[in-house]
Amino acid sequence: MRIRDVVIGANASMYYRLNFSKIRGVFYPRSEQEVLQIVLKANEQGLDITPKGGGSGLSGACTGGDRERFMISTLQMREILTISKDQRYVDVQPGATPNEINDLLEPLKMKFYVAPSSRDIATVGGLISTDGGGNDTWVNGTMRDNTIRVKMILYNGAQLVVDWDGVRSNDKSLEEKLNRAGMTIHDVASSHGTLGIITELRVRIKPLVEEELIGGVAEFDDYDSLGQAIQSLIDAKFPVRYGEAIVQAHEDVRGDLRLPLLVLEYPRDDALQEKLTAIADFRHLSKEEVEYLKDTRIKLPKRNPKEGIQVALFEGYGLHGKSLTEMSHSITEVNELLMEDGFRPFAKYGHAPSKWYLGDNSEAFGLVMHSREIRPEGRSGKEIFKTVARIVDKCLELGITPKPEHKWPFSDDVKKKRIMKLRDIIGGGFNSFILDDNAGEVLGSMV
Ligand SMILES: Cc1cc2nc3c(=O)[nH]c(=O)nc-3n(C[C@H](O)[C@H](O)[C@H](O)COP(=O)(O)OP(=O)(O)OC[C@H]3O[C@@H](n4cnc5c(N)ncnc54)[C@H](O)[C@@H]3O)c2cc1C
C-alpha cells in the first residue's frame, strides 16, 4: 500500500483534489508518546497538523486543506485498553471503530451504543470530533452523550484530560485558564480536530438489550404530513430503534415505492402499537420487507442514475420545529435553489426521529436528512462550492441546521467563535485552514 493511498484514499468527502507537495510528513504513531514526538516536531518546524481517523468524514476537515502540514493517522492506534463491565466504560485508543469495540463487548453482553452507518470504518476519535451518531441517536444519543472523557495533546505538547466537569493538565496555568473558560467534552465534540489530537477516550457502554422488534411503514400524501408524524413521535417520546424517512428518490432506485415514507422498528408492545396508530397509518412489515427498505435506503447514496453523476453537495440538513412540520416549504426552497444552479435533486432521505446538538450545545430533535443531487457538467469546483455556500445561507433563512451530523465551524458561527476563543488560550496548530477566512475558496479548489 502506498502512503498516499492511506492518507487520501479513504477520503469519502467530495474534497479530494489535494496538493500533495504541501504534506510534509505522514505519521502512524502507536502510542501517546509517539504522538507527542510528532507534535513537537511539527511545532519546531512551524507546520500545521491534521489528525485523521478513518477518512469517512464528509466535511473535508480531515484533508487538512492547503496548509503546509503533517498528517497524523490514528489507524495504528486502535487498541482497547480497559473494559470495566461494572463501571460501564471502555478505555480505547482513538483509531478503534465502534464495530471493533462491540466485537470485544459482545461475549460480555455489553454494547457501545454509537452506530453510524459508517461504524465499520469511522474511528471513535473521528466520531467525537464530528459528534457522529446513527439512526438511533433519538434513543442512544450522539457520540458526545457516550463519551466520558478524552485525553488530548496540544500543539505545544501539553497534555489535557477533558471530561464533563472540566480540564486537567500537566500545565497548571493552562488548566486554570481552560477551566475558567468552562471547557468540557461539549467543546471537543464537533471540533473537527481544531483543538488538538485525541489520544485516548473513555466511552460509555451499556448492557446489550435483547428485545423483539417489530417493523412498520407509513406512506404519506405530502412532506408536511411526514414532518408532522415525526414531530408527534418526538412529542410522544416513542422508542424508535431504527427510523428512516425516504423523502425523495430517483426512479432508478425507488422502483415502485410510494414516497414520502417513514419506516420504523420499535419494541413489540400493544400499548406502543396503539400510540403509533394514533400518529399515522402504519402498516406492519415482515423482517424481509424491513430489510428491503433498509437496502433501498443504503442504495440511495451509492447508485448513479443512467445519466449524470451524483454528488452529496451538502451532506445533512437538520429539520426541526417549523422547518420539520412545514417541510414542503423547506424542501421546495432548497430544491429551487439547487435547480437554479443547474443541479437536479436525486434523493433525500434520513434518520428520523433523530437527535443532534446546535452550536451552543442545546439539543435538537427532528429529521437528519441527507441530500444527493446530479451535478451539472462542466462546472468548476469553485462554482460548485458557491452553491454549497448559498445552501448554508438558505438553511439559516429557513431555520434548518446545515450539516447537523458534521457540524463543522464553516457553517456554524456559534461553534466557530467558541473554538477560536479556546484556541486563543491553547494556541492553534491543528486543522487551522477551517478557521481561515478563505476556507470556502480552499475547499472549492479541492472539489
Ligand atoms: C458511507 C458513509 C456513511 C456515513 N454514515 C454516517 C452516519 O450514519 N452518522 C454520522 O454521524 N456520520 C456518518 N458518516 C460520516 C463519517 O463517518 C463521520 O463523520 C465520522 O465521525 C468520521 O470518522 P473518521 O474516523 O472517518 O474521521 P475522519 O474523517 O478521519 O476525520 C473527521 C474529523 O475528525 C478529526 N479527527 C479524526 N481523528 C481525530 C483525533 N484522534 N483527534 C482529533 N481530531 C480527529 C479530523 O481532523 C476531521 O476533522 C458517514 C460517512 C460515510 C462515508
Q: What distance in Å separates the CA atoms of residue 375 and residue 373, rounded to the nearest whole number?
A: 6
Q: What is the CATH number of the domain that holds 332?
A: 3.40.462.10
Domain interval for residue 20: 3-75+421-444
Residue nearest ligand 1's atom 18 by CA: 57
Pair (294, 394) in one structural domain: yes
Left if phi > 0, otherwise alpha if psi is -120 to 50, otherwise beta: which for 190?
Answer: left
Averaged pLDDT for residues 243-265:
90
Residue 212 has pLDDT above 60, yes or no: yes
- Measure Cα distances from 403 to 73, 79, 106, 430 in Å: 24, 31, 32, 21
Q: What distance in Å separates the CA atoms of residue 239 and residue 263, rounded to the nearest whole number?
A: 13
Pair (217, 342) in one structural domain: yes
- pLDDT digits 0-9 by tens, 331-389: 999 999 999 999 999 999 999 999 999 999 999 999 999 999 999 998 888 888 889 88
Residues facing residue 373 across a β-bridge: 311, 345
312 or 86, which is more confident?
86
pLDDT at 1: 45
Confidence of residue 11 (pLDDT cuts 50, 70, 90): low
Q: What distance in Å separates the CA atoms of residue 202 and residue 83, rounded to the nearest whole number?
A: 10
Q: Which atom of ligand 1 is nearest to the CA of 199?
A: 41
Residue nearest ligand 1's atom 34 by CA: 126
- pLDDT digits 0-9 by tens, 106-162: 999 999 999 998 999 999 999 999 999 988 899 999 999 999 999 999 999 999 999
In a domain, 91, yes or no: yes
Q: Tally the domains of the chain.
A: 3
Pair (268, 176) in one structural domain: no
pTM value is: 0.95
User: Mutation test of ligand 1: which of 27, 69, 129 has the most ligand atoms closer than 8 Å to its C-beta?
Assistant: 129
> Residue 394: phi, psi to the nearest 5?
-65, -45
Pair (242, 331) in one structural domain: yes
d(CA 131, ligand 1 centre) in Å: 9
pLDDT at 335: 95
In a domain, 157, yes or no: yes
**Residue where a domain stops, chosen among 160, 179, 207:** 207
Confidence of residue 172 (pLDDT cuts 50, 70, 90): very high
**Residue where a domain stops, chosen among 207, 223, 241:** 207
Pair (355, 374) in one structural domain: yes
d(CA 340, ligand 1 centre) in Å: 31
Question: Measured in whole angstroms, how far is the alpha carbon of residue 38 from the centre of its chain?
Answer: 27
d(CA 97, ligand 1 centre) in Å: 10
In a domain, 412, yes or no: no
In a domain, 416, yes or no: no
Pair (145, 218) in one structural domain: no
Pair (148, 180) in one structural domain: yes
Burial (CB < 10 A; 0-12, 13-18, 19+), residue 240, is: buried
pLDDT at 191: 95
Averaged pLDDT for residues 14-33:
90
Residue 262 has pLDDT above 90, yes or no: yes
Query: Chain-wide mean pLDDT for the chain?
Result: 92
Pair (115, 141) in one structural domain: yes
Q: What distance in Å separates the CA atoms of residue 264 and residue 260, rounded to the nearest whole number?
A: 14
Q: Report the share of the chain in percent with pLDDT over 70.
A: 97
**Residue where a domain stops, chosen among 155, 184, 207:** 207
Pair (160, 145) in one structural domain: yes
Pair (291, 372) in one structural domain: yes
Question: Measured in whole angstroms, how far is the alpha carbon of residue 57 from the centre of its chain?
Answer: 7
Averaged pLDDT for residues 38-49:
98
Q: Which residues does ligand 1 sit against, CB inside 6 Å?
A: 12, 50-58, 61-62, 74, 94, 116-118, 122-123, 125-127, 129-130, 132-134, 192-193, 197-198, 405-406, 431
- Count how many Cα atoms sit within 13 Å of the Cα of residue 229 in the half-sphere of its side chain: 28
In a domain, 415, yes or no: no
Q: What is the CATH number of the domain that holds 155?
A: 3.30.465.10
